[in-house]
């Protein structure tokens, strides 16, 4: 009888130990999994165009996470529709009292910024950037049990491929209208007439230029001859000053 009780007690003890071991292992695995991956919620106010699930989350150009889900919900308190973006960070954190790197980024003033959609693919990603001062005081909040990562809610106008082509078409149409306008035609005609006048003037100058050069050369020769005669007379008078009275003999 005592032996049966002993076996029963031993069996219960072993079963309890196995149960505690399984529960502890599951808890340890859950903690270890949370240490590697952390899920945050991003709440953007502007457009989410180009953002899809599995979109990368980058810090200093390196992917440190990705968008796990995007859903639409209702904010009962504010009576409006919200689109929370769930982000899963790939965190390597030691168990114990080490600091959480994501929380460290948040306390350092980093916020999630939605990039402009790629010009070709139309896809967008999320970049963690430092929010310029003055920064609002960070208060840890939760969204349906998930911690909220602060976001930069600045609305920026971006250009898609269709918008760029439309803008280029409008620019070409404006240029065509400008070229075909009466003012431009008059300007072109005036420029053409001026070019014709310059061409005719150039032709006349080419025809009359040799005669002008020949006349100018003859004038230079005469001036040179006169200068030579003056120099000869000056030399003679310097040697025979009495010639001014008696004349040249």
The pLDDT tens digits of the residues spanning 119-141 come to 888 899 999 999 888 777 778 88
pLDDT at residue 229 is higher than 80: no
Comparing 147 with 2, which gets the higher pLDDT? 147
CB-based contacts of 2, cutoff 8 Å, min separation 6:
none
Is residue 23 a part of any domain in this protein? no
Phi, psi of 234 (to 5 degrees): -65, -40
Is residue 1 a part of any domain in this protein? no
Q: Rounded distance, CA 118 to CA 125, Å?
A: 9
Q: Using the 3D structure, point to which of 122, 140, 157 is the last residue of a domain.
A: 157
At 98, list the tokens: 């080490």
Do 216 and 117 fall within a single domain?
no
Do 151 and 54 fall within a single domain?
yes
Do 153 and 222 fall within a single domain?
no
What average pLDDT does the chain have? 75
Q: Rounded distance, CA 72 to CA 165, Å?
A: 32
Cα distances from 129 to residues 41, 111, 117, in angstroms, run: 16, 6, 17
Is residue 5 a part of any domain in this protein? no
Is residue 172 a part of any domain in this protein? no
Q: Rounded distance, CA 41 to CA 238, Å?
A: 113
Do 72 and 125 fall within a single domain?
yes
pLDDT at residue 160 is higher than 70: no
Do 60 and 107 fall within a single domain?
yes
- pLDDT on residue 110: 94
Whole-number percent of the chain with pLDDT over 70: 66
- pLDDT on residue 162: 62
Q: Rounded distance, CA 46 to CA 7, Å?
A: 68
Do 101 and 52 fall within a single domain?
yes
> What is the pTM assigned to this prediction?
0.49
- pLDDT on residue 35: 42
Do 112 and 207 fall within a single domain?
no
Do 46 and 151 fall within a single domain?
yes
- pLDDT on residue 219: 74
At 64, list the tokens: 């440190």
Q: Which residue has the tokens 């409008």?
A: 170
Q: How many residues does the chain have?
A: 249
pLDDT at residue 169 is higher than 90: no
Do 47 and 97 fall within a single domain?
yes
Q: Using the 3D structure, point to which of 157, 191, 214 is the last residue of a domain.
A: 157
Asked if residue 57 lies in contact with residue 51, where contact means CB atoms within 8 angstroms, the answer is: no
Do 232 and 146 fall within a single domain?
no
Comparing 245 with 132, which gets the higher pLDDT? 132
Cα distances from 164 to residues 47, 158, 169, 171, 197, in angstroms, run: 19, 10, 9, 10, 44
**Residues 13-61: pLDDT tens digits?**
556 556 665 655 555 444 444 444 589 999 998 889 999 999 999 999 9
Is residue 12 a part of any domain in this protein? no
Question: Residue 127 forms beta bridges with which residues?
Answer: 58, 113
How many domains in the chain? 2
Query: Mean pLDDT, to the nearest integer, of 47-76?
Result: 91
Do 89 and 151 fall within a single domain?
yes
With residue 92 as reference, give the H or E element that holds it: none
Indicate the pLDDT class of residue 155, thresholds 50, 70 and 90.
Answer: very low
Is residue 165 a part of any domain in this protein? no
Do 138 and 187 fall within a single domain?
no
Is residue 237 a part of any domain in this protein? yes
Q: Rounded distance, CA 198 to CA 189, Å?
A: 14
Q: List the domain range (segments joined by +) for residue 242.
A: 182-246
Cα distances from 203 to residues 128, 211, 249, in angstroms, run: 71, 14, 56
Is residue 140 a part of any domain in this protein? yes
């Amino acid at each position: 009888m005592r032996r049966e009780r002993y076996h029963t007690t031993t069996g219960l003890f072993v079963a309890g130990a196995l149960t505690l071991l399984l529960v502890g292992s599951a808890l340890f695995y859950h903690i270890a999994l949370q240490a590697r991956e952390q899920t945050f919620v991003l709440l953007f106010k502007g457009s989410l165009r180009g953002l899809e699930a599995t979109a990368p989350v980058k810090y200093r150009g390196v992917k440190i996470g990705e968008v796990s889900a995007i859903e639409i919900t209702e904010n009962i308190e504010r009576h409006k529709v919200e689109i929370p973006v769930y982000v899963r960070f790939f965190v390597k954190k030691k168990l114990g009292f080490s600091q959480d790197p994501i929380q460290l980024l948040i306390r350092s003033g980093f916020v999630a910024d939605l990039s402009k959609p790629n010009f070709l693919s139309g896809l967008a990603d999320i970049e963690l950037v430092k929010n310029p001062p003055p920064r609002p005081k960070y208060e840890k909040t939760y969204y349906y049990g998930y911690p909220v990562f602060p976001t930069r809610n600045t609305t920026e106008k971006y250009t898609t491929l269709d918008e760029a082509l439309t803008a280029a078409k409008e620019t070409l149409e404006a240029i065509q209208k400008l070229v075909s306008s009466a003012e431009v035609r008059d300007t072109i005609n005036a420029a053409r007439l001026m070019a014709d006048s310059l061409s005719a003037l150039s032709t006349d100058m080419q025809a009359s230029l040799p005669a002008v050069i020949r006349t100018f050369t003859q004038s230079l020769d005469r001036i040179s001859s006169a200068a030579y005669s003056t120099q000869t007379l000056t030399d003679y008078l310097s040697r025979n000053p009495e010639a001014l009275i008696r004349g040249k003999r």
